[in-house]
Amino acid sequence: MRELGGAARAGLACIAGLAQAASLAWPGSGEPLWWLQILSLAVLASLLRSATRSARAAALTGLFATAWLCGTFWWLFTSLHTYGGLPAPLAVLAVLGLALFLASYYAIAGALYVLLAPASRLGAALLFAGLWLLAELARNTLWTGFPWGAGGYAHVDGPLAALARLVGVYGVGFVAALLAMLLANLRAADLRRPSAWLLAGAIAIGLAAASGLRHCALGGCNRPAIAEHAPLSLALLQGNIPQDEKFQVGSGVPTALAWYARQLAAATAALVVAPETALPLLPAQLPPGYLEAIVRRYAQGDQAALIGIPLGDMQAGYTNSVLGFAPAQDAPYRYDKHHLVPFGEFIPPLFRWFTEMMDIPLGDFARGPLGQPAFLWHGERIAPNICYEDLFGDEIAAQFRAPERAPTVLLNLSNIGWFGTGLAIDQHLQISRMRTLEFERPMVRATNTGATAVIDYRGQVTHLLPRATRGVLLAQVQGRSGAVTPFAWWAARWRLEPLWLLGAICLLAGLLARRRARNQHLKPLA
């Protein structure tokens, strides 16, 4: 691509970035396209191969990442402008500013690649993949993390999905980046080189082995180590309360309270689940006897309920929580959200002026601890997570340290009505599917506007309620217990440190290769 001018390269980087975004959830269908994720990243890799200066590489990578991230979470505009009342130009600038900030991680990675890329094409591919991995991990970790739209999520239906149980979503992204640079380096002459075919064969064998291990774990080889439970009947409630009315005492609040009360009273399933902030008021603000009626309803019989509700007071602090009700309880089960949303559930220092410009009920919430106990019901250990907590697989992994206490069913309770009814719903569904691939445990989703669904331990959606509709999804889920996946085992102990180490090793190898090449260049002639 050396013959392309600067403007053409910049335009190509932006187009490739938008294709990267589309690969996560194709507009219209919402389907992930694994091949498009690798192909679009290969375009960036080709641009970096032809870049001669680190500043140009940083600019091209930054353009790619900015277009990719804007194309991924453009729906933030809806929450900021449509529901938050922020003027449209400021909302556009806010989304663009966030994308630019997060893109800086990738821009640094691009610059380092051009500075350190070795002559070896395999070495160059490993360096690129390692730097890309470090950028993805930085986006997951720094400033509380905002990893929405990581490239690995495009592979929930692709051949790399088999790797998720071994290395998680970021390990999948590392392999995808490696393949992208190898593809960018491919030449017609390579088809005649035995070494190229050996490398392709090694990659194919590796993927086949990973697929075989996954098939064995899911299909019966490890059946003595994996216990499949009897189906548990579910009633998943999707209130579809309009977001601009949800917290309004004259409209959305009475509608929500009345509808959820009726469904909780009439449900016949063994487990009934209402989504995040289904009850949009603190217990003290609810109508007299409202919560007590729910407690009485589930104090007898053979049914239980999990309900999203805010808890707390001015003195103790407020939490975004789940309450669980079941027979023979001394006290309701409680889960408090651990990973809070910046600007939504806590206000970063120096940014209160920004949140005060929006008409959104924001505040500083208290955090629940990591690794909270599961809800025990019908022999299942049901582990809730709220909203975008399911992005952080390493935090969910904290509950898998002891296999005998590990969750048998994962449960996501969400309200992403703030972001409309478009691709944000599809993207979030793929995120939940990736968690099921990593842990080989089913995921149940109860949401306000979608996607209310059941995902089995294979990562397949078995039940799905149409989005933006008010209704009840009657379904079943089959929990699993016993042996945990390799990813669950090591992430429970070391979080993402092994992947940080892998990225650091690739970077160090690049530095050493660069130093060796420089020394050889400076070596005096005999």
| Active centre residues (catalytic) | 276, 337, 387
Classify residue 128 by its DSSP letter: H
Quick one: residue 131, left, alpha or beta (phi over 0 = left, psi -120 to 50 = alpha)?
alpha
Residue type at 273 in one-letter notation: V
Distance of alpha carbon 37 from alpha carbon 457, whole angstroms: 24
Length of the chain equals: 526
* DSSP β-bridge partners for residue 10: none
Please tell me the number of Cα atoms within 13 Å of 397 on its side-chain side: 26
Tokens of 4: 């392309």
Write down the residue that tokens 């048998």 correspond to. 408
Residue type at 307 in one-letter notation: I
23 phi, psi to nearest 5 deg: -65, -25
Contacts of 189 (CB under 8 A, 6+ apart): none
Does residue 381 sit in helix, strand or coil? strand
Distance of alpha carbon 130 from alpha carbon 505, whole angstroms: 8
Q: How far is CA 317 from CA 246, 282, 341, 368, in A?
A: 22, 12, 16, 11
Distance of alpha carbon 460 from alpha carbon 498, whole angstroms: 28
Write down the residue that tokens 């950028």 correspond to. 135
Q: How far apart are the first and last CA of the chain?
A: 38
Q: How far is CA 485 from CA 292, 446, 496, in A?
A: 41, 25, 15
Distance of alpha carbon 188 from alpha carbon 190, whole angstroms: 5
The C-alpha angle 466, 467, 468, rounded to 5 degrees, equals 125
Using CB atoms within 10 Å of the CB of residue 284, give its burial: 0 to 12 exposed, 13 to 18 middle, 19+ buried: exposed
Q: How far is CA 388 from CA 128, 130, 185, 413, 439, in A?
A: 29, 26, 37, 9, 17
Distance of alpha carbon 267 from alpha carbon 15, whole angstroms: 49
